[in-house]
Structure 1
Amino acid sequence: MSETTAGVLGRALPPLFWAFISAWGSGCIADPEVAGKVTVSRDGEELVIDTGGNGTKAVDVSDDVSGMCIVRKQGELSVTVAKDGEALSFFDVMHQADSPHASARIDGELYQGACEIIVQEQQGDPYEADVAAGPCDLVRLFDGAKARLETAVFHVSDCSGAE
């Protein structure tokens, strides 16, 4: 992995972590609606997290898939989905102007990559958007093993704010 990729990922992950902790600690996390589907391939295997209805159903507390979105500040949005017990158990896209990236946890290992992410705000509301990413490569940091984000498409609304 190049030093540039490692630097981009190193700068990108801490802001997401602190935004989540800040929002959680201040009690301002609402119940965002997250609907979508992500497909990652690794070694010829297709791995999917689907919120339901081929990505059209928003997750709720009774689902086995969870989802969250955070708007850190104007133009910076993170969308996360997770499903315990699956090979692809976690996926996150973080749209930041200087370092858009995606992260996936596959078989307990973290893969990350700098990916183009497209965010289309709905009706001028920064807390509601259509989000798309892929295709792009995701790399396991310590040994360079690769996975490929084929596609990630989400519709989010009522995202939490963490400014």
Structure 2
Amino acid sequence: MHRSLIAQGLVLSLAPFGCSASPEIPEAYGKAVMNLNGEELVLDTGDDGKLPVPRFDDSWDVDCSIVNGETNLELADRSKGRRGFYYLDLHLLGGERQGGDAAVVNMRMYVDDELFDGSCPATLRTSQQGSHECAFSFAGCDLRLFGGDQDGIQARLERASFHLKWCFIP
């Protein structure tokens, strides 16, 4: 009984930051479109971002978790063999949420061997079906080559939308 109350309290305390703790296997689905040097690159879990990918999928690496009270999503498409736009990492900055659905998310994306990063405005919504589901969406965000100078290669996240389900605390 005591353990159950502690678990319920933990789930409720994390709900405002996105997904909550769950015994289910985490899954994610979505699509991101970025532009690099005039070329449109896409990371898509399938069926135009509607096909869920579970954590233990053979063709994807998926980590949907809550780290230090903040929602984190890592997706890597193994089928691309580390070529093209194959990796995305979204890390919600819970302390910078501005109330309502507005959020700030640190993003990292790999294209081939180049890592791009930046902070992007986002919309975060917790599902009405339960606090174990949430969705991020983004539009128009500039990313820079990690460790590069300010005038170096830039990428632009044109749009992205991801749905997370059954995130967990590592």
TM-score by length of 2: 0.69
Which residue is equivalent to 2:168?
A: 160
The one-letter code matched in structure 2 to 1:107 is D
CA 1:157–1:62: 2 relative to 1, 3 Å = closer
In the alignment, structure 2 segments of 5+ residues that lack a partner are 1-21, 97-103
The one of 70, 86, 91 aligned to 1:89? 86
Q: Which is higher, the Rg of structure 1 or of structure 2?
A: 2
Aligned to 2:146: 141
Amino acid at match of 1:72: V
Corresponding letter in the other structure for 1:106: V
Contact 1:100-1:114 within 8 A present in 2 as well: yes
- Alpha-carbon distance in structure 2 between the residues aligned to 1:115 and 1:31: 28
Number of aligned positions between the proteins:
134
Residues 112 and 29 (structure 1), Cα distance of their counterparts in 2 relative to 1, 3 Å cut: farther
Letter aligned with residue 77 of structure 1: T
* Matched position secondary structure for 1:37: strand
Question: In the alignment, which of 15, 31, 39 is matched to residue 37 of structure 1?
Answer: 31
Alignment equivalent of 1:72, drawn from 67, 73, 76: 67
Residue aligning to 1:12:
none
Identity of aligned residues (%): 29
**How much does 1:117 deviate?**
2.0
**Residue 161 of structure 1: SS of its match in structure 2?**
coil
Deviation at 1:138, TM superposition (A): 0.7
Which amino acid in structure 2 is aligned with residue 90 of structure 1? Y
Alignment of 1:1-163 (within 5 A): 31-60=25-54, 61-72=56-67, 74=69, 76-84=70-78, 85=81, 86-96=83-93, 97-98=95-96, 100-123=105-128, 125-143=130-148, 144-162=152-170
Letter in 1 for 2:147: F
Normalising by the residue count of structure 1, what TM-score does the alignment of the two structures yield?
0.72
**CA 1:95/1:62 → structure 2, altered by over 3 Å: closer, same or farther?**
closer
